[in-house]
Amino acid sequence: QTQTHEFHYYSSPQVHRVHPKTLMVGSDLPMTIIGSGYFNSSCMQCRLGQHLSPAKYINTTAIQCLFVPESNTTDSRLKVEVSMNCHDFTENSQEVSVQRPAFFGFIDPVHGPLQGSTVISFHGYNLIDLDGLSCLFGAHAVAAQWISSSLVLCTTPANPMAGNVPV
Q: How far apart are CA 49 and CA 35, in angstroms?
A: 18
Report the relative pairing of strands 94-99 and 22-24 from DSSP bridges: parallel
Q: How far apart are CA 32 and CA 46, in angstroms?
A: 10
Using DSSP, state whether 58 is helix, strand or coil. strand
Please choose, from the candidates 2, 18, 10, the residue with its C-alpha nearest in 3D space to the C-alpha of residue 96. Answer: 18
- For 148-165, what is each residue's pLDDT tens digit? 989 999 999 999 999 999
* Helix intervals (H) in 44-144: none
Under a CB-based contact definition with an 8 Å cutoff, are residues 115 and 155 in contact? no
Q: How confident is the model at residue 62 (pLDDT cuts 50, 70, 90)?
A: very high
How many residues make up the chain in this entry?
167
Q: How confident is the model at residue 101 (pLDDT cuts 50, 70, 90)?
A: confident
| pLDDT > 90: percent of the chain | 63
pLDDT, the chain, mean: 90
Under a CB-based contact definition with an 8 Å cutoff, are residues 51 and 25 in contact? no
Predicted pLDDT at 49: 85
